[in-house]
């Protein structure tokens, strides 16, 4: 991990602080809780942790609405706690990545409180303000991702302000050089403290179209969203003008120049655009972001064909960039349920981790994935997510993937001495860390075995990728690095299957600890349900 390019092929473990471990007894996880559980995280064999926002915030969007970029919210602890967390993580060999939400702030941020007062104050142009149309309606047709129009009237100024997300999250005006300079200064603050990487939330939303042109309508058959309600009017438009503007490329280059002053640091951009793969390729060109993170594998389609098309499409677009893949996070239904059904099989859960760890790129794993946690069914009366409350019952929001981490199988799941901020379902307590650590064949122990083995396989960590033809539900590809080639084949289905082994390759099977292994015999690859085969390729 002393390698300045440690991020290439790294496995990054996402921690959602509210739900990881509570030491204060208020039912909400905190930074001391992360510190207490860092030994567990290190035992998984991951390379880094990504900590979702813990900054001062009114929590309208649970920390993604920042009121002060340089202060820890008391709900999570103190700056001294963060310093202790950073020191312990580094002592354990873990890099620390923190979320940075640059495109917008909370409406409680001092910048916005000043900006909204009138049109002449020093911060007057720090946010996206626009006059009403002649009839009083908003300046254009842009929609908020959380539903409804993306403009909110501010009577102090007699203008609308833009909010691509909640109305409590006003968008900053990145056309203003003072905003860009202040943003870079905030990043430098955390680099000076010793963080190793930034995960840049909604990074393609920093700039808007300065002409405020209307977004064009999208045909009904193309209104397929990722992570938002199917009846959300956000899906009714092509989002050509409210995000992903060409001016953003110059800002990304500014960010890269800053991080280059701190050798060994890295940036990971969250990218959601009309063509996220093309944007990822563009944003990860030399001199811009180190890695790109898109939503392409956070969808319902779990076919071998879809996964192959997605990765091959990115590979054809990327020039010198590096992808980062995820199948779960704090915004979407957990992959164990989304792809594995209501009762995901243990072998399926084990296969997912191995598949993700075998693709070209780095990996983001969301807390609880190592346990195979399914999506929680949170009743309406317990919902906390304003997105879910607004779109109930067609869309239940994001609470189902945010429930507290189950450490034990007790009523409180070992998470808190108080009432957890979201309920912990029985299905999660049955998959608790304590239970799985006592079971040698558990998904948790399989996860550890696989990641430990993966570190010894340079081709899987750093190699190029080339897909081989195979019928559904088999996904097959090779990874090649420094003259070594490894073939990987995955049965994504719940039934056993036998397929011909590639006749042009001389294969020597290499069993992988953790997931279920198939076998190569008589020129065929025999794959039980949710099994895989790794084989070395020789001339």
Output the domain CATH number for residue 485.
2.60.40.1180
Question: How many domains is the chain built from?
Answer: 2
Residue 157 lies in a domain: no
Tell me, yes or no, whether 295 and 214 share the same domain: yes
Contact 487, 534 (CB under 8 A): yes
Whole-angstrom Cα distance, residue 27 to residue 20?
11
Residue 121 lies in a domain: no
Residue 266 lies in a domain: yes
Which has the closest alpha carbon to 237: 223, 251, 249? 223
Tell me, yes or no, whether 354 and 250 share the same domain: yes
Residue 118 lies in a domain: no
Q: How high is the pLDDT of residue 221?
A: 85
Question: Which is catalytic among the residues 3, 192, 221, 261?
Answer: 261
Question: Which is catalytic among the residues 73, 99, 201, 331?
Answer: 201
Q: How high is the pLDDT of residue 518?
A: 98
Main-chain phi, psi angles of 98, to 5 degrees: -120, 150
Tell me, yes or no, whether 510 and 377 share the same domain: no
Contact 402, 330 (CB under 8 A): yes
Tell me, yes or no, whether 253 and 341 share the same domain: yes
Main-chain phi, psi angles of 211, to 5 degrees: -85, -5
**Helix pair 31-43, 79-91: axis angle to 10 deg:** 10
Residue 429 lies in a domain: yes
**Is 411 annotated as catalytic?**
no
**Is 117 annotated as catalytic?**
no
Tell me, yes or no, whether 526 and 437 share the same domain: no
Whole-angstrom Cα distance, residue 475 to residue 490?
5
Tell me, yes or no, whether 227 and 360 share the same domain: yes
Residue 185 lies in a domain: yes
Choose one of 453, 478, 504: the last residue of a domain: 453
Q: How high is the pLDDT of residue 423?
A: 97
Q: How high is the pLDDT of residue 155?
A: 98
Does the predicted TM-score (pTM) go above 0.95? yes
Could you tell me the residue range of the domain that residue 503 belongs to? Answer: 463-538
Whole-angstrom Cα distance, residue 352 to residue 368?
13
Choose one of 422, 453, 484: the last residue of a domain: 453
Residue 511 lies in a domain: yes
Tell me, yes or no, whether 365 and 494 share the same domain: no
Residue 495 lies in a domain: yes
Grouped pLDDT means (10 residues each) for the chain, 539 residues: 88 98 98 98 98 98 98 98 98 98 98 98 98 98 95 98 98 98 98 98 98 96 67 91 98 98 98 94 97 92 97 93 96 96 95 97 98 97 92 91 97 96 97 98 98 98 97 98 97 97 93 96 96 94
Tell me, yes or no, whether 298 and 367 share the same domain: yes
Choose one of 431, 453, 475: the last residue of a domain: 453
């Amino acid at each position: 991990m002393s390698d300045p390019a440690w991020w290439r092929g790294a496995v990054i473990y996402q921690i959602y602080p509210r739900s990881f471990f509570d030491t204060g007894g208020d039912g909400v996880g905190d930074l001391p809780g992360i510190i207490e559980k860092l030994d567990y995280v290190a035992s998984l064999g991951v390379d880094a942790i990504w900590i979702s926002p813990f900054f001062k915030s009114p929590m309208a969007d649970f920390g993604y609405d920042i009121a002060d970029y340089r202060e820890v919210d008391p709900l999570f602890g103190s700056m001294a706690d963060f310093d202790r967390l950073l020191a312990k993580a580094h002592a354990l060999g873990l890099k620390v990545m923190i979320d940075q939400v640059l495109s917008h702030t909370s409406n409680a941020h001092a910048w916005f409180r000043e900006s909204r007062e009138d049109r002449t104050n020093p911060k007057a142009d720090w946010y996206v303000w626009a006059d009403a149309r002649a009839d009083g309606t908003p300046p254009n047709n842009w929609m908020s991702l959380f539903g409804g129009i993306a403009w909110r009237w501010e009577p102090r100024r007699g203008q609308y302000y833009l909010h691509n997300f909640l109305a409590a999250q006003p968008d900053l005006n990145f056309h203003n050089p003072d905003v860009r300079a202040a943003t870079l200064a905030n990043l430098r603050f955390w680099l000076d403290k010793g963080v190793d990487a930034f995960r840049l939330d909604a990074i393609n939303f920093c700039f808007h179209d300065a002409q405020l042109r209307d977004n064009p309508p999208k045909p009904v058959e193309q209104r397929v969203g990722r992570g938002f309600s199917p009846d959300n009017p956000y899906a009714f438009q092509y989002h050509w003008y409210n995000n992903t503007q060409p001016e953003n490329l110059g800002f990304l280059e500014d960010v890269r120049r800053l991080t280059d002053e701190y050798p060994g640091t890295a940036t990971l951009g969250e990218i959601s655009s009309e063509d996220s793969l093309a944007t990822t390729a563009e944003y990860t060109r030399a001199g811009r972001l180190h890695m790109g993170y898109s939503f392409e594998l956070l969808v319902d389609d779990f076919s071998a064909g879809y996964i192959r098309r997605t990765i091959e499409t990115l590979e054809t677009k990327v020039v010198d960039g590096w992808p980062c893949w995820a199948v779960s996070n704090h915004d979407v239904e957990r992959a164990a349920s989304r792809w594995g059904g209501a009762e995901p099989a243990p072998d399926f859960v084990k296969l997912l981790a191995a598949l993700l760890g075998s693709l070209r790129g780095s990996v983001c794993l969301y807390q609880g994935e190592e346990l195979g946690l399914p999506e929680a069914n949170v009743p309406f009366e317990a919902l906390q997510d304003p997105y879910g409350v607004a779109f109930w019952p067609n869309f239940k929001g994001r609470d189902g993937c945010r429930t507290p981490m189950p450490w034990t199988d007790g009523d409180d799941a070992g998470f808190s001495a108080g009432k957890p901020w979201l309920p912990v379902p029985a299905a999660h307590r049955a998959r608790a860390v304590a239970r799985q650590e006592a079971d040698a064949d558990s998904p948790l122990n399989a996860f550890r075995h696989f990641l430990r083995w993966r570190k010894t396989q340079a081709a899987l960590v750093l190699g190029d990728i080339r897909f081989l033809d195979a019928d559904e539900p088999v996904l097959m590809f090779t990874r090649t690095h420094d003259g070594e080639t490894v073939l990987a084949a995955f049965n994504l289905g719940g039934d056993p299957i036998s397929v011909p082994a590639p006749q042009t390759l001389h294969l020597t099977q290499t069993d992988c600890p953790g997931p279920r292994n198939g076998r190569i015999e008589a020129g065929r690859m025999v794959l039980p349900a949710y099994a895989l085969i790794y084989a070395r390729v020789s001339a």
